Structure 1
Amino acid sequence: MRRIYKICSASAWREAERQGVYRGSADDTRDGFIHFSTALQVAETARKHFFGQTGLFLVEVDADALGDALRWEPSRNDELFPHLYGDLDLGVVTAVRDMHARSDGYHDIPELTP
Structure 2
Amino acid sequence: EQLEGVLERYFGGVSRVVILEIDPDKLSSKLVFEPSTNNDVYPHIYGPIDPEAVVRAEERQLMPGG
TM-score (norm 1): 0.50
User: Alignment partner of 2:27: what SS?
Assistant: helix
Query: Deviation of residue 102 (structure 1)?
Result: 2.2
- Aligned identity (percent) is 29
Aligned pairs for 1:1-114 within 5 A: 40-66=1-27, 69-103=30-64, 105-106=65-66
User: Alignment partner of 2:15: what SS?
Assistant: coil
More helix by share: 1
Contact between 2:31 and 2:45, CA under 8 Å: does it hold in 1? yes
Contact between 1:57 and 1:99, CA under 8 Å: does it hold in 2? yes
- Judge which range, 89-98 or 67-76, deviates more: 67-76
Query: Deviation of residue 73 (structure 1)?
Result: 1.3
Query: Deviation of residue 67 (structure 1)?
Result: 6.3
Once residues 43 and 80 of structure 1 are traced to their aligned partners in structure 2, the CA distance between those partners, rounded to angstroms, is 15
Q: Name the count of aligned residue pairs.
A: 66
User: Alignment partner of 1:88: what SS?
Assistant: coil
- Judge which range, 82-91 or 62-71, deviates more: 62-71
Calculate the aligned-residue CA RMSD, in Å. Answer: 2.0
TM-score (norm 2): 0.78
Q: Which runs of no fewer than 5 residues in structure 1 stay unpaired?
A: 1-39, 107-114
The structure with higher relative contact order (CA 8 Å, sep 6+) is: 2
